[in-house]
Structure 1
Amino acid sequence: MNFEQLEYIKEVIDTKSMSIAAENLHVSQSAISQSISLLEKEFGVQIFKRSRLGTIPTEEGKTIIKKIMEILKKADELREEVHSLTSTYNGELHVATSPSIFMAFLPKALARFREDYPQINVMIKEMESQEIMKEVEQKKADLGLITLFNNGEEMLPKDITLQSFRHQGRFNVIVPNHSELALNQELQLMDVKEYPFVLYDRSFYNNLIEDFEKHYGPLNIIFRTTNSEVVKKTVSEGLGIALMTSLMIKDDPYLESGRILAIPLSYPFNFNLSVGGIYYKNRNQYGLIKKFLEYVEI
């Protein structure tokens, strides 16, 4: 048994096809087939069978493949650990981030990182999640920091890795402290849709609002702005209410001073928002990406 055989099996599992696996790994199909056959002979167990659905694992193969995936994961972790011990970090790191993650995590993380690695020039670009995915996919950014509905990994382009953070967010209705809505422990958007709304004008929010309005009718939107501080200032003055994720108001002075209150939003927006970093493993800055993510996670 060797790592080449294990990598072949992983690629066959991912593609459900020996021919596609061979193409992706730039080897011949017969090389993969022979390599797996040798491993099956060594184990005395058939790992794969062919069917109309492609190359799929046998029942015995599923057990073996689970262990193989664990071995490959540990091997990746070992490589990362060795790289972190032997590498001298240098150069630039290009990071694309959504506004909510920037406000919630990056200032403190970036300050700590620059203190420990002053030789690294971290370039930050703020943009929306769909743009971030394209930026990483086109390799214009080394790392993308995004917010996804629940896990959302299925939305990612092929070969891009998602490292989920421990932190999760959810939607809140932001109201002035003197509003009668402030007495509620939870709110449904359909119950407050007649109130004047200040909309944070980002596609992440716009898509949700458009979907809501198709089912429940229009919100009373008095104006839109891409500046989150304007949203909170307007709400604090009692001119309207707003929708914001808990990530956007993390350690927020308006909230901490009591000028605005955040009330959890229930159905249909009572789902978790996942936060994570996306990147290609084969980038030259892979070790630096992983090191920077450690600081974001703290």
Structure 2
Amino acid sequence: MHIEQLKYIVEVTKTRSISIAAQNLHVSQSTISKAITNLEKELGINLFTRSRLGAIPTAEGKNIIKKAYEIVVKLHEIQEEAQEQTSLINGEINLSASASFFTPILLRSLSNFKKDYPNFRIVMTEKKSPNIIEAVLQGKIDFGLAMIDEIDWDAHEELVFETLLEGEILVCVNKHSPLAFSDYLTPEELINETVVMYDGEMWKDSISQFMNRYGPMNILFTSNNTEVIKKSVSEGLAISFLMDIALKDDHYVKSGEIIPIPLMNFESSHSYHRSFGLVRSKKKHFSFATREFLKCIKLHFSKLE
């Protein structure tokens, strides 16, 4: 008895035809017919009744064919498991993330994943959300981690977004700032403050609305590098507005160099709450390795909530 014989009788049972089974398995009809005949001789029973209506399992053959089907399913599972393990050893993922994701959240997930799969290669780049969308659409990355509020979903029906985290913007001040002792801050208290601002369209719009409504703030510079922004705040050069999720496990916050404070009483067409998540193409099939990495990300994110 050979594995091929079991595969042949299962396929013939599905199709009720030796010729169709031969086409599906890319072998000749004579190969399948001879294999079934030899198996029937070995077992001492007829598995099929052959007629112009096709190949129909016999009463005594049905139980044999059922067990053959179970064996073939297990063989497929073994092959899939081997392929998945191979992909985890030799595979690669390309992804891009917005700055708020890139700080310790994503890096911690990567560290945990690499402990289990040290040889797997992950290529990460930091991009703004619109650039992430473009890279996903062009197939340059497997998926992106972006801010949903910065994406026009009506214009991108071919994309799928899955929310992973909800966050809010906090005012970040130096520990020596007079503002550092406040439980919360209001817009009026921030007038005339020097600000280092994240370089994003929605952030610029929110700050513009803020200054139009309450008064000017001195913009020292803008940057899409959150480490540069936090360094500037820690040295007392300016205040800034950063997402709370970007400050989780942050060394500046842990050391007390930066004090994050909630902003109250500011109503904007762009809420100070933000949604972050996974962006992918509907056409993109995720490998087993990619699914495992996303599980690792989601597990770490769930611990932050």
- Shorter chain as denominator, the TM-score bin is 0.5 to 0.7
Aligned length: 216
Residues 111-167 of structure 1 deviation map (CA, whole Å, 9 limit, x = unaligned): 2222323443211111001110111112111110012339x78457112111221x3
* Distance in 2 separating the partners of 1:212 and 1:87: 54
Whether the aligned pair in 1 keeps the contact of 2:193 and 2:239 (CA below 8 Å) is yes
Q: Which residue of 2 aligns with 1:257?
A: 255
Where 2:197 maps in the other structure, the secondary structure is: strand
CA contact (8 A) 2:146 2:277 kept: yes
What are the ranges of 5 or more consecutive residues in structure 1 without an aligned counterpart? 1-80
Q: Measured at CA, do residues 230 and 118 of structure 1 come closer, stay the same or move farther in structure 2, by a change above 3 Å?
A: closer
Q: What do residues 171-218 of structure 1 show as CA deviations (whole Å, max 9, x unaligned)?
A: 111112222212322223343121121223344422322343344443
Distance in 1 (alpha carbons) for counterparts of 2:159 and 2:108? 26
Partner of 1:124: 124
Partner Cα separation in structure 2 for residue 164 and residue 143 of structure 1: 13
The verdict on how the C-alpha distance between 1:251 and 1:117 changes in structure 2, with shifts beyond 3 A counting, is same
Shift of 1:253: 1.4
Q: Aligned residue for 2:294?
A: 293
Provide the residue aligned with 2:72 in structure 1: none
Q: Distance in 2 between matches of 1:207 and 1:84?
A: 49
**Structure 1 CA distance, aligned partners of 2:78 and 2:209?**
48
Preserved contact between residue 83 and residue 287 of structure 1 (Cα < 8 Å): no
TM-score (norm 2): 0.62
Show the 5 A alignment for 1:176-255. Answer: 176-255=174-253
Selected match of 2:168 from 160, 167, 170: 170
Q: 1:275 to 1:194 in 2, by over 3 A?
A: same
Partner of 2:274: 273
Q: TM-score, with normalisation over the residues of structure 1?
A: 0.63
Secondary structure of 1:248 counterpart: helix
Paired with 1:112 and 1:214, the residues of 2 have a C-alpha distance of 45
Deviations for 1:220-250, whole angstroms, at most 9, x for unmatched residues? 2123334323322322232321111112211
Amino acid at match of 1:295: C
Determine the C-alpha separation between the residues in 2 that align with 1:216 and 1:87: 60
Match of 1:158 in 2: 157
User: Over residues 8-40 of structure 1, what are the superposed CA-to-partner deviations in whole Å (9 max), with x where a residue is unaligned?
Assistant: xxxxxxxxxxxxxxxxxxxxxxxxxxxxxxxxx
CA distance in 1, matches of 2:146, 2:176: 34
Aligned to 2:143: 143
Structure 1 residues 187 and 108, CA gap change in structure 2 (3 angstroms): same
Superposed CA RMSD in Å reads: 2.9
Structure 1 segments of 4+ aligned residues over 6 angstroms from their partners: 81-84
Output the amino acid matched with 2:147: T
Q: How far apart, CA to CA, are the structure 2 residues paired with 1:234 and 1:139? A: 36
Q: Report the Cα offset of residue 110 of structure 1.
A: 1.2
* Structure 2 letter corresponding to 1:189: P
What is the CA–CA distance in structure 2 between the aligned matches of 1:84 and 1:106, rounded to whole Å?
A: 28
Would the aligned equivalents of 2:96 and 2:127 in 1 still touch at CA under 8 Å?
A: yes
Q: Give the letter aligned to residue 161 of structure 1.
A: V
Q: Greater CA radius of gyration, 1 or 2? A: 2
In structure 2, the CA distance between the partners of 1:279 and 1:289, relative to structure 1 (3 Å rule), is: farther
Which shows bigger deviation, 198-207 or 238-247? 198-207
Q: 1:241 to 1:283 in 2, by over 3 A?
A: same
Moved more, 87-96 or 237-246: 87-96
* Residue type of the alignment partner of 2:180: A
Once residues 274 and 79 of structure 2 are traced to their aligned partners in structure 1, the CA distance between those partners, rounded to angstroms, is 32
Q: Secondary structure at the match of 1:186?
A: coil
Q: Are 1:102 and 2:102 counterparts? A: yes
